[in-house]
A and B are shown apart, each in its own frame.
Chain A
Amino acid sequence: MKILLSKISLALVLFSSLSCDVNRIPETEITDPAFWKSESDLKSAANYLYTFLPGFNLNEVWSDNAYGTSANPISDGSRLAPSTAADYATPYQLIRAANNILEKAPNAFVTDAIRNRYMAEARFFRAFAYVQLVQKYGNVPLILKTLQENSPELSQAAASRQEIINQIYEDLDFAAANLPTPAGLGGADYGRISNTAALALKARIALFEGTRAKFHNDGDPAKHLSIALNAAKTVMDSKQHSLFANYENLFQYAGEGPQNKENILVKQYGTDPANIVLNHNFSENLYTGGANPTKSLVDSYLMKDGLPITKSPLYKTPVKSTDVFQNRDERLAATVFKQGDPYNTGAKFTTPMNYHKTGFGPKKYFNATDFTTRRALLDLVLLRYAEVLLTYAEATFELNNSISDADLDMSLNLLRQRGKIAPLSNTFVQANGLDMREEIRRERRVELALENLRYWDLIRWKTAETELPKAVLGNYFFAEEFGRQTPVVVNAEGFIVTQDASFRRFDPAKDYLWPFPVNDLGLNSALKQNPGW
């Protein structure tokens, strides 16, 4: 018994001294301190920024260029301030990721050139995020470092528009100075940011600011317009870019890759339908009426003689839908579907009125193969040379209130040439009673139709208040072709009425800026809601 007891007490002693190691470490993930060492680390970190490049979207319906299958609250003025908004939150995620690289890259074991290159990419993306923010919200908080949960910056007031724009310029200047040229990128790095991408983005935002300052009478138009002009000119002088010969193919697989010198920045989706890394469904979205061109857009396309339909002797009132394309700017047929176009394996296009509400089908970026497989892989062009040329022309005109024929010929007329319409000149304008500003704007609208820029043009020109409240009209109603299966409303002139003017509004006192998400106002009392919301 005694031995027994001693053994039991031995067991109890052992028992009470049991102790094991409870440490467990992740086996399939790495931690931050082990990272940020090599060039490949910097590149992997920078790659994350590219995931923020916007993908295909139907935002053209915000403008007077397109109408979806149902009303759009931004376009018709029926929206309310949201409680949370990705439009506001996502750019700050990109800003944090960029700031993180800017803070950690200095400690990597790489040459200064390599370090600066990835820091330049980070600064490009930071500017890219602030461009989105400033266009929508105006004054926003300016965050230039990765914040901690107790950082005072979290409760800081919005920085002025001017501070943000200056930061954007500074970031883009650094990016332009430290990034390779498009040719210098080479094949393996195709798709990465080049110095001309930085300049093209700078030209875009500077034109936005310059014209906005001018037409909203807020700020210094000349300063920004000069910046836009110079940035555009630098891209033009770099000789890195030229127009792609075929406008329609610009938005097809034929226009992909470095051989197309017009593209400056592209969101890539890959090419192999059997090996899908990332895909979209934009062809399907277009076919099912995601963004149908409006009468307003189609009417803005010129006749071959360079005159608008209201002035050109070439224009005849159409009796069938294909007549609309007769003697028109060729870009119309590349942007809008024509009856009989191939659209599906072996099939000819007939307007599906249940989807194509306006009687016009969107064709830009529509691809028959993508549509058939429902796995679209076409790349999305985010910045292209044509826009740089248009920016050059517009900035020049708005800065001087005039533009020389030489300037027109080196910019805008290259696009008209591709569209196979007569060139624009000061004499042509005078001879035909046209307005130069209107023609420059028309050229921009036509060339960049359905590329998500029109809404911002209306905002900066302060024309949204006149254009957006108008009724949304479509094509002539060609009863024979469109069929009676889908009844439509037709006005006295015979046009399809897609949305009546009584359903549309735009309040200039509030709608030029977007509402901040209500949650953010609650979390940061220094942030004030935009006027009228």
Chain B
Amino acid sequence: MMKIFTPFHFKWKQALLFLVAWCYGIAALAQQAQNLSGKVYGESATGLPGVTVLIKGTNTGTATDTEGNYNLAMPVGSNTLVVSFIGYQTQEIPINNRNSITITLAPDAKSLNEVVVVGYGTQKKENLTGAVSTIKSEDIESRPVSSVALALQGLAPGLSVTRSTGQPGSEGIGIQIRGATSANGNVDPLVVLDGVASPGTTLQTLNPNDIESITVLKDAAAAAIYGAQAAGGVILVTTKKGKSGKTTFEYSSIVGTDWALNVPERMETWEELEYNNLARVNSGAAAAHSAERIQILKEGTIEYRINPNDTTRYEYFSRKSIVDQLIRKNSLMQTHNISARGGSDKINYLISLGYYGKQGVFKVGPDRNDRYNARLNLGTQLTKHLSLDSRLTYTLQKQESASKDVNGTGLLLYNLYRYSSFNPIFTPEGRYNTTLAATAYAELEAGGYNNYNRNLLDGVFTARLANLVKGLEIRGVYGVQYWQGDRDLFRKTVQRWYRTAPGDVINTPNSYSVSNDLTQNNNVQFLADYNFALGEKHHFHVLGGYQWEDGRYENTSAGVTALITNELPSLELGNETTKTNSQDINTYAFQSYFGRFNYNYSDKYLLEATLRLDESSRLAPGLRTKTFPSLSASWNIHRESWFTLPVISELKVRGSWGSLGAAQGIGLYDYLPLLTRNSNLVLGSPEVKATYIAQTDVPSAELSWETIQTSNGGLDIGLFDNKLQGSFDYYIKYNRNMLTRIQLASTFGASAPMINNGELKSWGWETELRYQDKIGDNFLFSVAANVSDNQNELIEFSGRKLISSGTVGTLEGYPLNSIWGYRTAGYFQTAEEVKASPFQDSRTGAGDVKYQDLNNDDRITVGTGTLENPGDLVYLGTTQPRYLFGINLSTQWKNIDFTAFFQGVGKRNFMPARQSLDANIASYYQALAIHRDYWTPENPNALFPRPFVNASHNYLPSDQWILNAKYIRLKNLQVGYTLPQHLSNKVKLARARIYFTGQDLFTLSGLGKFQGYYDPEQRDGVSADYPFFGTAAMGLNLTF
């Protein structure tokens, strides 16, 4: 214990507190127990497994086994049993000194009775006053996705999950709750795993099978208990725990195939050369590819010959697709999980092991991601009053990728798609060919690797002292993340060849670097809950807490170049003078006090108030502390005696207001005038590395939290005995002291400091509907849909009113990331039309994009780049997704189940990078198949303008290239078959289900002709990003 606390500057009194708690625990251990057993039935004659059986007022309890039997040791003085199961009405049964009790549960559609995990505790769903969404384990099970984060797409209204690439292990996942919160970048939600704040990447490393439930806290009332870290909302993840009873083993696996969704199709080689010649001629240059070369390529009679002008080289006429040679049609993904759950009345446990592996899209070279998860969740009732819950998990993640970056213009994939491929990858001798197009293949196959292995150890230990005084519970929580990562980056030299002579060498000299990172986060909480009632109707709950957080990240790296061998990467084998090392340490500390007060009048009127005081090391002394309050109330109208509408089974209104904090854009030590040191400078004779020190950033001494005030109004309704449930929320968020980087003229000469003077308004609504019913005895079905919208407006941002063409991140009076561009009127059809039109560009000719001169100054310009004078620029929407939705259709007929889950976005715009649209950004880059549809007098309304090398004038941001990225996607489809009980019992299985599961199987989007070439989920400014995957897989679940 002492060891754990030493790093946090704890004093003796904290240790004493634990000691006190510990002593009481020991004293309570000596109590005697008696056995109680029985069986729980549901609607049918078979026992109901997994039912919670609890002695009322204690934590003593168990869960029924696969046959519905339970067995538990009763402490002396137990008199009431509480039996609960999701979908059934909870029953309280007097024990009356019996040793065996058989129980039949009645089904209950009123799932509002379910208990949801909220900040630092739990709450009955019916009594919630804030905006909260819950996701259950069933919703994310059996999905062939790489992480929990991706499985969450579309599941909860207001929760947006985006990805930028499909690269295994680097999917570029972004999670936002209720849209933009700050103009300083995405305010990530706070992820809390089993009660302890955890880095957001936890949602990418956690085993999805270990999750019991996920709660999304959306408004200030729900999230304000997390204060300064909660402005982006909070995602509470709770892992499964053991259940008392016989050990249940579960095995589940999914094995399937992935295929890349948006690999652009290339032209035939001769076709792209003809196109290229045309582009060159149109741009005033000469054609580059002779008619003979094109003719030979068309005929395909010879693949190469000795170059008559230079016999040391070949001249090639390859027609093989280099994309097909490197990109797989199908790749393998698989996941396997096994778990054991069980326990007795004193101990419950869950042990699970999981594996997830996915192959990337490249046929050769390092390109995959593997994850191994192990978890032990152990609950122990130490004494009558003291229990301990330990949750330990270890994750090993191994990502392998090429030593060069894959995504973006000029990088590996772009070059693969765009370099002309009549020069093949290999020379006839089988050596790597000295040609641009072969670079990607050679880099991947022989150019080394960039491997990142991570060992993540997470632990949460909760000691709970309950009912020492009636209604009082004290918890001590210690959470730790000990995350270690090793990166090995080896760039190997690759010799390429001409016919007889060696050509160039890639990655010369070779280099090797290792980088070790260590993240150590510690979290200590002391929580006290006190429940009491005044009379029958007035119920109170008070929570008080203290939390300490300490984070430390260290990175140490070392590297060498010019290794004597290409085969053995070692720091020992490099050139002595090239050895480098570096160190980076980031630290932060947080200290918080918080409290929550709940008042409940007969379950009708509910009131909740929270207050949190945060203090953080990131801010200058004197500005470190801030208080975040919230207030919320709700009214369960259906509980009023006068409310007698039989159709409406539930009706509740909610309202909340609160204040949340965000440290977005605040660095760890921004208030200090830091100097940077670097040594990428050569001076002297002999020439040596020289060091320089400079202050490149001006300190921001006055920084304080961004505080976001959120108001939320909500309505929950249940109809027809809650077969139809719905909820609706509307909210407004004001970030009233948002950090802004002062806009300064270039003459300032440094990056300007930041101050708290901005204001962002963000508002939106969410709605969710769910209908479930059954037809006859065997056909169950449910339909669930959610839609949400969010908009924002930047009200003040240091007077930022500058417009440039393209995506403007911050512009006062407009939403974040507003797109500005020109209006177009098709293409110029004749040279005369160009002459008669306002001046566009010196290159403009027939077949080029015709921009409209909106301000009639006879030129196409950006004016002064201000709102007063935007030239010919107009506002063309934002890149923010709107009208996010998810639709789930689910049916079950006898043993067959079917689920279709659609997810999509109703409105979004983005513009791909010009380098991605333009067929020939340089003369050595080639057009793609999509560019076949280009302007000619016969094709006046083509998709693309006339071919032209580096046609930047045709790809100015304009309505022509702003793509409509609305989409609906069949995110997941499952068809399953569960073996009838009698058959599975024969093979000693409690349950067996086999199913098909598919991910991203079908998409409809607003991209039009660009569909397949771009994906509607891709980022603004996309250029040759690693493709996304579709997946088709078979799955198996066995319980025994």
User: What is the interface of chain A, defined by CB distance below 8 A to chain B?
Assistant: 4-5, 7-8, 10-12, 14-33, 35, 41, 44-45, 47-48, 50-51, 69-71, 76-78, 80-81, 83-84, 88-89, 92-97, 99-100, 141, 143, 146-147, 149, 153-155, 187-192, 257-258, 268-278, 344-347, 350, 353-354, 357, 371-375, 481, 483-489, 496-500, 503, 505, 517-524, 527, 529
Residues of B within 8 A of A523 (CB): 743-745, 802
- Interface membership of B683, Cβ < 8 A: yes
> Restricting to B836-851, which residues have a CB under 8 Å from any CB of A?
841-843
3 tightest Cβ-Cβ pairs between the two chains A and B: A96-B749, A274-B562, A78-B842
- Known pairs A18-B548, A273-B508. 13 more at Cβ < 8 A? A14-B14, A22-B589, A26-B669, A29-B675, A51-B680, A149-B744, A149-B752, A188-B685, A274-B575, A345-B501, A373-B509, A375-B509, A499-B284
Cα A71 to Cα B397 in complex, Å, equals 49
Q: Is A70 in contact with B862, judged by CB distance below 8 angstroms? A: no
Which chain A residues border B691 with CB–CB below 8 Å?
44, 47
B682 touches A191 (CB 8 A): yes
* B673–A276 touching, CB < 8 Å: no
B686→A191 contact, CB < 8 A: no
Interchain CB contact under 8 A, A278 and B682: yes
Verify B577–A498 contact, CB threshold 8 A: no
A45–B692 CB distance below 8 A: yes
Whether a CB of chain A sits under 8 angstroms from the CB of B290 is: yes
Minimum CB–CB distance for B564 against chain A, Å: 10
Residues of B within 8 A of A (CB): 8-10, 13-14, 16-17, 20-21, 277, 283-293, 309-310, 312, 315, 468-469, 472, 474, 501-502, 504-506, 508-509, 526, 528, 544, 546, 548, 561-562, 575, 577-578, 583-585, 587-591, 615-617, 621, 624, 668-669, 672-677, 679-695, 698, 742-750, 752-753, 801-802, 804-805, 841-843, 861-866, 922-924, 949-950, 953
A92 surroundings in chain B (CB, below 8 A)? 746-749
Nearest CB to that of A503 among chain B residues? B284
Shortest distance between the CB of A459 and any CB in chain B (Å):
19
In the docked arrangement, what's the CA distance between A7 and B22, Å?
Answer: 13
User: CA of A14 to CA of B866 in the docked complex: distance in angstroms?
Assistant: 59
* 10 A-B residue pairings within 8 Å (CB atoms): A20-B591, A28-B585, A29-B677, A83-B805, A93-B749, A269-B687, A275-B561, A374-B506, A485-B293, A521-B865
Given contacts A8-B468, A93-B750, A357-B285, are A83 and B865 in contact (CB under 8 A)? yes
Q: Bound complex: CA of A277 vs CA of B579, how far in Å?
A: 11
Cβ–Cβ contact A270 & B687, under 8 A:
yes
Q: Please name all residues of chain B whose beta carbon is closer than 8 Å to the beta carbon of A20 when the two chains form the complex.
A: 8-10, 548, 589, 591
Write the nearest CB–CB distance from A479 to chain B, whole angstroms: 12
Complex interface: chain A residues within 8 A of B16 (CB):
14
Bound-complex Cα distance A81 to B150 (A): 43
User: In the docked arrangement, what's the CA distance between A316 and B953, Å?
Assistant: 43
- A277 adjacent to B689 (CB under 8 Å): yes
Partner of B668, one of A24, A78, A375: A24
Among A190, A371, A481, A486, the residue within 8 A (CB) of B685 is A190
Residue of A nearest to B844 (CB): A78
Contacts of B13 on A, CB cut-off 8 Å?
A: 14, 17-18
Contacts of B677 in A (CB 8 A): 29-30, 44
Q: How far is the CA of A236 from the CA of B555 in the complex (A)?
A: 53
A4 vs B20: C-alpha distance in the bound complex, in angstroms? 10
Is A11 a contact partner of B474 (Cβ separation < 8 A)?
Answer: yes
Interface centre among B290, B584, B690, B745 (most CB of A within 10 A): B745
Report whether A100 and B681 are in contact in the complex, using a CB–CB cutoff of 8 Å. no
Contact B684 A347 (CB under 8 A): no
* Chain B min CB distance to A93 (Å): 5
Residues of B within 8 A of A83 (CB): 802, 804-805, 862, 865
B801 contacts which chain A residues (CB < 8 A)? 522
A268 to B684, CA, bound (A): 9
Nearest B residue to A502 via CB reads B284
Q: Tell whether, in the assembled complex, residue B683 and residue A28 are in contact, meaning their CB atoms are under 8 Å apart.
A: no
- Pairwise interchain contact A11-B681, C-beta atoms closer than 8 A: no
Chain B residues lying within 8 Å of A10, measured Cβ to Cβ, are 20
For A268, the chain B residues whose CB sits under 8 A away are: 682-683, 687
Taking a contact as CB atoms under 8 Å apart, the answer to whether A26 and B674 are in contact is yes
B17 lies within 8 A of A11 (CB): yes
Beta-carbon contact of A24 and B588 below 8 Å? yes
Determine how close the nearest CB of chain A comes to the CB of B242; give it in whole angstroms: 30
- Collect the chain B residues with CB atoms within 8 Å of residue A146's CB: 749
Give the docked Cα–Cα distance between A347 and B502 (Å): 10
A31 touches B673 (CB 8 A): yes
Of the candidates A17, A76, A277, A483, which one forms a contact with B679 in the assembled complex, judged by CB atoms under 8 Å apart?
A277
A468 to chain B, nearest CB (A): 12
State whether A258 and B685 are in contact (beta carbons under 8 Å apart), knowing that A24-B588, A24-B589, A499-B285 are contacts in the complex: yes
Q: In the docked arrangement, what's the CA distance between A268 and B309, Å? A: 38
Let me know if A35 and B842 touch, CB within 8 A.
no
Q: Is the CB of B865 within 8 A of A31?
A: no
Could you say which residues of chain A place their CB within 8 Å of the CB of B668? Answer: 24, 26
User: Which residues of chain B are within 8 angstroms of A278 by Cβ–Cβ distance?
Assistant: 680-682
Contacting A33 at CB < 8 Å: which of B310, B505, B673? B673
Flag if A488 contacts B286 (CB, 8 Å).
yes
Question: Considering only CB atoms, which chain A residue lies closest to B669 in the complex?
Answer: A26
Say yes or no: A275 contacts B562, CB within 8 Å.
Answer: yes
Decide if A374 touches B505 in the complex (CB within 8 Å). yes
Question: B287, B562, B680, B748: which contacts A487 (Cβ < 8 A)?
Answer: B287
With A and B bound together, what is the CA distance between A47 and B675 in angstroms? Answer: 14
CA distance A154 to B673 in the complex (A): 21
**What is the CA–CA distance of A12 and B528 in the complex, to the nearest angstrom?**
9
- CB pair A522 B802 closer than 8 Å: yes
Contact partner of B504 (CB less than 8 A), chosen from A81, A190, A372, A489, is A372
A279 to chain B, nearest CB (A): 10
Q: Quick check: A22 and B286 within 8 Å, CB to CB?
A: no
Residues of B within 8 A of A517 (CB): 746
Task: Name which residue of chain B comes closest to A269, CB basis.
Answer: B682
Provide the residues of chain B in CB contact with A70, threshold 8 Å: 283, 285, 922-923, 949-950
Residues of chain B within 8 A (CB-CB) of A77 are 842
Q: B675 and A350: CB pair below 8 A?
A: no
Complex CA distance for A347 and B805, rounded to whole angstroms = 47
Check if A5 sits within 8 Å of B469, measured CB to CB.
yes
Cβ B692 vs Cβ A47 within 8 A: yes
The interface residues of chain A lying within 8 Å CB-to-CB of B681 are 47, 50-51, 277-278
A32 engages B673 (CB within 8 Å): yes
- Complex CA gap A22/B620 in Å reads 11
CB distance from A427 to the nearest CB of B (A): 44
CB distance from B12 to the nearest CB of A (A): 10
CA distance A350 to B672 in the complex (A): 59
- B804 — which chain A residues lie within 8 A by C-beta? 83-84, 518-519
- Contact of B745 (CB < 8 Å), options: A25, A257, A357, A524: A524
Contacts of A14 in B (CB 8 A): 13-14, 16-17
Least Cβ distance of A288 to chain B in Å? Answer: 8
- Other-chain residue from B20, B293, B865, B923 in contact with A522 (beta carbon distance below 8 A): B865
Write the chain B residue with the least CB distance to A98: B749
- Give Cα A153 to B922, complex, Å: 42
* Given A143-B747, A149-B742, A275-B575, also A27-B585 (CB < 8 A): yes
Please name all residues of chain A whose beta carbon is closer than 8 Å to the beta carbon of B864 when the two chains form the complex: 518, 521-522, 529
Q: Is the CB of B745 within 8 A of A520?
A: yes
Q: Are A35 and B675 in contact (CB under 8 A)?
A: yes
Nearest opposing residue in chain B for A273, CB measure: B509
A271 and B747 within 8 A (CB):
no
Closest approach, in angstroms, between the C-beta of A257 and any C-beta of chain B?
5
- B526 is contacted by which of A15, A51, A93, A96 (Cβ under 8 Å)? A15
B509 and A274 within 8 A (CB)? yes
* Chain B residues near A484 (CB-CB < 8 A): 290, 292
Partner of B746, one of A26, A269, A345, A520: A520
Residue on B nearest A93 in the bound complex, by CB:
B749
CB distance from B629 to the nearest CB of A (A): 19
Point out the residues of chain A lying under 8 angstroms from B21, CB to CB: 11
Nearest-Cβ distance from residue B729 to partner chain A, whole angstroms: 35
User: Among the listed B672, B745, B842, which residue makes an inter-chain contact with A31, where contact means beta carbons less than 8 Å apart?
Assistant: B672
